[in-house]
Amino acid sequence: MAEAGQRLVLAFDFGVRRIGVAVGNEMVGRATALEPLPARDGIPDWSLVTRLVDEWRPDLFVVGLPLNMDGSESEMSTRARKFGKRLYGRYGKPCEMIDERGSTREAKAIAREAGHRGNYREEGVDGLAAQLILESFFALREGLSPRP
């Protein structure tokens, strides 16, 4: 495993129909959105996840934790934590959870600014949300302020 600061990280924006995915390197502190994974009631096709893990060979997983705006846990928080535990159990890589409040809203705003018409079910912003989650994780690691 690479040492902290040099790790390759796969990040996930957990959802019940789609799970956003992004990849990035701690040293660079930037992330790239990947194609979202289809999910059925929050359960992905694990063979697709395995392909991602085999392709990118991450040292760490990061999963966005969808907290309520007051910081309390929600049903989705519990499900996202369970997803993170399954990642760890299947692939033996550490998994860190990060507060992702507002990431989907911010991803939609970025998509609108880029000229998307708001049909997010078709166009999807899940990968972009995962990218924002991962870049926030990197910023927190560097002691910088995460995205506004």
For residue range 14-66, list pLDDT tens digits in order: 999 999 999 999 988 999 999 999 999 999 999 999 999 999 999 999 999 99
- pLDDT, mean over the chain: 86
Question: Under DSSP, is residue 147 helix (H, G, I), strand (E, B) or coil?
Answer: coil
Give the amino acid at 58: P
Residue 142 has pLDDT above 90, yes or no: no
Distance CA 148, CA 106 (A): 9
Q: Are 14 and 83 in contact (CB under 8 A)?
A: yes
- Rounded to two decimals, what is the model's pTM? 0.84
| The pLDDT of residue 140 | 86
Q: Please state, for a pLDDT cut of 90, what percent of the chain lies above it.
A: 60
Question: Under DSSP, is residue 136 helix (H, G, I), strand (E, B) or coil?
Answer: helix
| The pLDDT of residue 6 | 78
What the chain holds in terms of domains, given with CATH numbers, is: 8-141 (3.30.420.140)
Of 125, 110, 99, 133, give the one whose Cα is nearest residue 18. Answer: 125
| The pLDDT of residue 134 | 95
